[in-house]
């Protein structure tokens, strides 16, 4: 759908009785409110709908809480998880009175990123293709009190259930790091992943493939076809919505938490990026691995700002339990063709100029996609504008480097505070074109430091194992 009139026609044809207005908060969670279908007029697309923004994490204080949700007609779909026929619209957030974009709205930030790209004259389109991994568990329980804390997850596939009484236990459990990609009966989730894919396609998402991932206990991946920045971020929000709710239909739970299991691979969101101008791919050329000089400069910008990017692309304390050596995690800030041990990989599946792209591997699916993709774009553009040399590629297994070699390779931050410190030092590239604002970045850093402090101050169960008898 592209026009308000077409959206109204769609809603009428589908017999919609309600409209659901969705928007993303600072940290990447969809929020919503609903209205009867009688409120659906062409005017709401230009006038917006007022709501109280004071209870949204990281947004307005109560004395200035009036905000406008501006529906985007291109995002319309009939929500498959509502019992009553419901039209869904994704919104950008604006200030009342001026209708200026709200500076802390992630979708608005991504839109400004696209405008900034066009203003540079370097390209008119940035395409993003995410590979978001996730886990489908049968059960999850957790608690955190002053006198105790715990978590437990479970899955019929899990290697730790070989001895469980399942009446009978048939044995086909997936060993740690061996989930890529056995067929049934070891893989128990083929049908549920297929159901997710087919529903995504019904809702307009272009699905490329689905499969079990490396970890035990139901780790999965569904790949979406690339699209423009804002569209891809919109797609990722819908992607998560479908996966979580289809899992719930089956009495299961899906999580995009980067590292829910100790001793096995975590979930990443490898992100493919390319620039285009007037339909021409700009990353194809005669340089290393068939890249253009622009693509190499783009890589240089990402590597130069990678530590700061971590605060937006790997934004949780749990992210840094994934970003450790030994679990196929991209901790080495280098680039290479075909090489999955480097933070930036240049895929070589096709010689077509249209397929030429880079893959940035550190991001994980806990990231707010609007902020993550925009930050990657801004870092890459900074590299192109300043002709940042990425250095020599590293065409070797970086996981097996000798210590004296490895020490020369920069690493991603080892913790969320380290990433936040890097962002505090290195953020001028994000401020260009007023894409990000100092206010937003200060708000982000402050909120994330509070998350870390909340974790830091709590005794950990493993500390009892280590220290109770001291």
Q: What is the pLDDT of residues 18-74, one digit of tens each?
A: 999 999 999 999 999 999 999 999 999 999 999 888 888 878 765 667 899 999 999
CB distance 366 to 318 below 8 Å: yes
Mean predicted confidence (pLDDT) in 172-198: 95
In the chain, pLDDT over 90 holds for what percent of residues? 86
The residue-averaged pLDDT of 179-192 equals 94
Q: Could you give the CA distance from residue 208 to residue 357 in angstroms, rounded to a whole number?
A: 17
Cα–Cα distance, 366 to 217 (Å, whole number): 19
pLDDT for residue 317 is more than 80: yes
In whole angstroms, give the CA distance from residue 112 to residue 129: 19
Q: How much is the average pLDDT of 181-194?
A: 95
**458 is a catalytic site residue:** no
Catalytic residue flag (residue 42): no
Per the annotation, the verdict on 234 as an active-site residue is: no
The residue annotated as part of the active site, out of 211, 250, 340, 449, is 340
Average pLDDT over residues 173-201: 95
Q: Are 119 and 377 in contact (CB under 8 A)?
A: no
pLDDT at position 123:
97
Average of per-residue pLDDT across 127-131 = 97
pLDDT digit string, tens, across residues 408-434: 888 999 999 999 999 999 999 999 999
Q: Is 131 a catalytic residue?
A: yes
Identify the active-site residue in 359, 364, 382, 427. 359
pLDDT at 61: 65
Mean pLDDT of the chain, nearest integer: 94
Q: Which domains does the chain carry?
A: 4-102 (3.10.20.70), 125-467 (3.30.590.10)
- Token output for 226: 């690339």
| Catalytically annotated residue among 127, 131, 227, 234 | 131
Residue 257 has pLDDT above 70, yes or no: yes
pLDDT bin (cut points 50, 70, 90) of residue 404 is: confident
What confidence score (pLDDT) does residue 206 get? 97
Q: pLDDT value at position 403?
A: 76
pLDDT range class, residue 402, cuts 50, 70, 90: confident
> From the candidates 20, 105, 187, 221, which is the catalytic residue?
221
Q: Which of 39, 52, 287, 439 is catalytic?
A: 52
pLDDT score for 63 = 62
Summarize the confidence of residues 382-396 as an average pLDDT: 93
The pLDDT-based confidence of 151 (bands split at 50, 70, 90) is very high
Q: What is the pLDDT of residue 1?
A: 54
What per-residue confidence (pLDDT) applies to 45? 96
Work out the pLDDT band at 89, boundaries 50, 70, 90: very high
- Give the pLDDT confidence of 359-378 residue by residue, as tens digits: 999 999 999 999 999 999 99
Name the catalytic one among 213, 227, 264, 364.
213
Task: List, for residues 266-310, the tens digit of each pLDDT value.
Answer: 999 999 999 999 999 999 999 999 999 999 999 999 999 999 999
Active-site residue, 328 included: no
pLDDT of residue 401: 72
Residue 287 bears catalytic tag: no
The whole-number pLDDT of residue 210 equals: 96
* Options 305, 322, 357, 361, the catalytic residue: 361
The per-residue pLDDT for 53 is: 82
427 is catalytic: no
Catalytic residue among 270, 272, 305, 427: 270
From the candidates 133, 156, 157, 382, which is the catalytic residue?
133
């Amino acid at each position: 759908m592209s026009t308000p009139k077409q959206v109204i026609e769609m809603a009428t044809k589908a017999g919609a009785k309600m409209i659901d207005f969705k928007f993303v908060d600072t940290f990447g969670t969809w929020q919503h409110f609903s209205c009867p279908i009688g409120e659906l007029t062409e005017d709401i697309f230009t006038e917006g709908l007022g709501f109280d923004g004071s209870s949204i994490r990281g947004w307005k204080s109560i004395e200035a809480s009036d905000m406008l949700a501006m529906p985007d007609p291109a995002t319309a779909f009939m929500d498959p998880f509502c019992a009553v026929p419901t039209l869904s619209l994704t919104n950008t957030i604006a200030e009342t009175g001026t209708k200026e974009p709200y500076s802390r709205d992630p979708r608005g930030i991504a839109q400004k990123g696209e405008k900034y790209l066009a203003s540079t004259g370097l390209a008119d389109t940035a395409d993003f293709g995410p590979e978001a991994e996730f886990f489908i568990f049968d059960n999850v329980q957790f608690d955190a009190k002053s006198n105790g804390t715990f978590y437990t997850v479970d899955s019929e596939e899990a290697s730790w259930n070989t001895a469980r009484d399942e009446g009978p236990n048939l044995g086909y459990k997936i060993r740690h790091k061996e989930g890529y990609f056995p067929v049934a009966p070891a893989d128990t989730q083929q049908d549920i992943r297929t159901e997710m894919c087919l529903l995504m396609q019904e809702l307009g998402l272009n699905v490329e493939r689905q499969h079990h991932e490396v970890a035990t206990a139901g780790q999965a991946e569904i790949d979406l076809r690339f699209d423009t920045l804002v569209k891809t971020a919109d797609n990722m929000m819908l992607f998560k919505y479908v996966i979580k709710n289809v899992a719930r239909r089956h009495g299961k739970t899906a999580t995009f938490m980067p590292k829910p299991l100790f001793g096995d691979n975590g979930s990443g969101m490898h992100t493919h990026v390319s620039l285009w101008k007037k339909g021409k791919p700009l990353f194809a050329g005669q340089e290393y691995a068939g890249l253009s000089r622009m693509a190499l400069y783009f890589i240089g910008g990402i590597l130069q700002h990678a530590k700061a990017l971590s605060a937006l692309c790997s934004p949780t304390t749990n992210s840094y339990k994934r970003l450790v050596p030994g679990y196929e995690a991209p901790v080495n800030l280098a680039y290479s063709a075909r090489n999955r041990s480097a933070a930036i990989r240049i895929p070589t599946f096709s010689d077509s100029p249209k397929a030429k792209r880079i893959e940035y591997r550190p991001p994980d699916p806990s990231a707010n996609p609007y902020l993550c993709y925009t930050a990657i774009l801004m870092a890459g553009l900074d590299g192109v504008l300043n002709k940042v040399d990425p250095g020599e590629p590293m065409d070797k297994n970086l996981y097996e480097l000798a210590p004296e070699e490895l020490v020369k390779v920069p690493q991603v931050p080892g913790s969320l505070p380290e990433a936040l410190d890097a962002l505090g030092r290195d953020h001028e590239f994000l401020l260009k074109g007023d894409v990000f604002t100092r206010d937003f970045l200060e708000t982000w850093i402050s909120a994330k430091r509070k998350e870390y402090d909340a974790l830091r101050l709590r005794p950990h169960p493993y500390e009892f194992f280590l220290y109770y008898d001291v």
